[in-house]
Copies of this chain bind each other. A is one copy, B any other.
């Protein structure tokens, strides 16, 4: 191959492109030694099995067919298995007088009755199949023995049908059978009259405006409710509670759906004492609700502070938020206590250090991502349910505070009450994350019609007003679910967010800001009046006309803009110093305003900008409309006349003045017009250097650590507008001031700081 220059390389591409269109199919090279054909266990048909060592389908021996797993071979129907050598099996047909194969496949027997399809004996219901005697010897003819269901035996056949074992406790009273009017449900015999079988197994998907008759509910709703009510079966009560949670805790006039049944049982327990001294938590039942008295939410969330104090620095440094969750599966079984975090509520993937930043007090955390529906169906075949608590510590006597939860999708008689004001909120306790089970309509293993995924989890901490001790109110967890109809699992995605927020009542700060603006605006008014008066005196006009008014308004606009600017910079500096520095945050007493609370600040900055723009335009107009007259009083140079005059009068001829000096000075004066004390390029470069290179912009992040260098592996919260504004204005003013004044001492200290 010639190594040509570029043009020949280009021309070389022409021919192969044509040949490309001709060779569309894949060549299998004959000398490709290592290519194999793909086979999976389901690809191997009836008389072959999937050989796991060669990853291919291999024929079974004679009279054999593949097992249910497909990974080995078993004997055909009517053939018994013999071990002839160590490595493989042989199948021998059963003799005609013993045509059935015994259950383990290693012998033949005569059957008392008929043979099943698999060529084994079968017995009537309630009987067990006996093929060997008690010592293990094979019988010639198998027997069907009936299990004695009456006292004192009380036995029924076991699952494999080969032994009699004691029947379930609920069947004891009726000789191990469950006959009407008793109801057989979920493997239990429910006495008649305890609970009506008319239950509503539908799950309502309000966002999609339809309901699904869930297979799980059809199978388990009645049995769980009955077992909970009649037998006080703890697991069944949890399962019933879980079904109510899957239906979004929603009450309606229908009292036979999951939450209606739960509520029925809840009210029936009213006479008994409540658990753990909490009146909403009844014996044997899960704690699902906080009660529906109006205003209860406010009392729960804003009355008693949490008995731990958060502190950013010092001996009592305490910035870890430990949330524990009691985890239940959908059947109601208690699994374990689990730390809330990456494994449960934080669905977005990420490294441990990033995800644990969410539980560092003071760091405003938010993480969003898109999850693929196919992956969710894979990873969450059944939902898990979490009761979340805040760990208060305490060593041996460790205490927990239950976390009130607000489910936005919750309905109360058809109203989304949690989207209304706090007075109407109906707090609850239990949450799940991904529910792919309740949307399955035909059976619990079919593809679901709808899945429900948590689209937003927000944990909000509110600082007690005017606290000096870093006290917070009980945090609130707000959960929003999204109903996703299944159309194409490989392309659908769901967006989910996990956020932790910190809030403080900003009314005091707002009042202080407004007062400052009011006072300084009054002072600015007086100052503008004075300026207008002096301007009038300079133009020597006694009339107060429209022009005077306009001048006054423009002066006032400029001064008011200065007022707004001063107040906003002061506010930014206040937050910067008091939120981030050492002294003030020994105990948490100040929290940044939330983005929603920053709107007023943004308005002030906007006003300052607009008013200053007005003043600036006016000044520009004034400058543009100025006429400048340049007068140069140059003296002509007197030159002595060399010629001696004959006549008596000495005459001096003045040399004319050349215009060049005037031109020179006018040119230089013109050039001076645009000289500035502050070099824009240096200003911008210096400010950017401080902000981006030295990392001062990281002082404006929403967490309480004044760290300049942040690694990319860690979590960095979002920026706060107020802090950014305060920081950049302060830097800009300082650097501008240094250029204007240029004090040598301060310059030296500036350099030392930079180094």
Contacts and interface: CB of A to CB of B under 8 A. Distances in A.
Contacts of A31: 304
B29 A304 contact: yes
A530 interface: no
A584 interface: yes
Q: Which of A54, A87, A307, A349 gathers the greatest number of chain B CB atoms within 10 Å? A: A54
A136 interface: yes
A109 interface: no
Contacts of A401: 32, 34-35
A283 to B, nearest CB: 7
A284 B86 CA distance: 14
B138 A134 contact: no
A647 B647 CA distance: 11
Interface in A378-403: 387, 389, 391-394, 397-402
A74 to B, nearest CB: 13
A43 to B, nearest CB: 10
17 contacts: A1-B466, A26-B394, A28-B399, A31-B304, A38-B389, A52-B334, A86-B170, A104-B166, A132-B153, A132-B164, A134-B145, A134-B164, A136-B155, A162-B163, A352-B375, A658-B658, A660-B661
Contact of A234 (B5, B52, B132, B589): B52
A352 B372 contact: yes
Contact of A53 (B41, B55, B285): B285
A287 to B, nearest CB: 8
A328 B164 contact: no
A602 interface: no
Nearest to A639: B656
A518 B399 CA distance: 80
A7 to B, nearest CB: 12
B307 A35 contact: yes
Nearest to A306: B32
A237 interface: yes
B104 A165 contact: yes
Contacts of A324: 38
Contact of A658 (B24, B328, B661): B661
A71 to B, nearest CB: 6
A56 interface: yes
A89 to B, nearest CB: 8
Given A56-B276, A104-B165, A135-B145, 15 more contacts: A3-B511, A3-B512, A13-B583, A13-B589, A20-B586, A26-B307, A28-B307, A36-B400, A55-B387, A136-B165, A137-B155, A351-B369, A639-B653, A653-B653, A667-B668
Contacts of A54: 275-276, 281, 283
A670 interface: no
A334 B71 contact: yes
A130 interface: yes
A396 to B, nearest CB: 10
A574 interface: yes
B646 A646 contact: yes
A148 B152 contact: no
A56 B587 contact: no
Given A56-B276, A231-B86, A400-B38, A153 B135 contact: yes
A264 interface: no
Contacts of A308: 26
Interface in A66-102: 71, 83, 86-88
B393 A26 contact: yes
A232 B72 CA distance: 13
Given A155-B136, A352-B372, A661-B658, A304 B3 contact: no
A56 B274 CA distance: 13
Contacts of A515: 3
A487 B29 CA distance: 53
A469 interface: yes
A420 interface: no
Contacts of A584: 13
Given A38-B391, A351-B370, A29 B136 contact: no
Contact of A402 (B34, B153, B238, B332): B34
A706 interface: no
A116 interface: no
A51 interface: yes
Given A35-B392, A53-B283, A163-B162, A337 B155 contact: no
A235 B52 CA distance: 8
A737 interface: no
Contact of A641 (B137, B586, B653): B653
B132 A136 contact: no
Contact of A664 (B148, B305, B660): B660
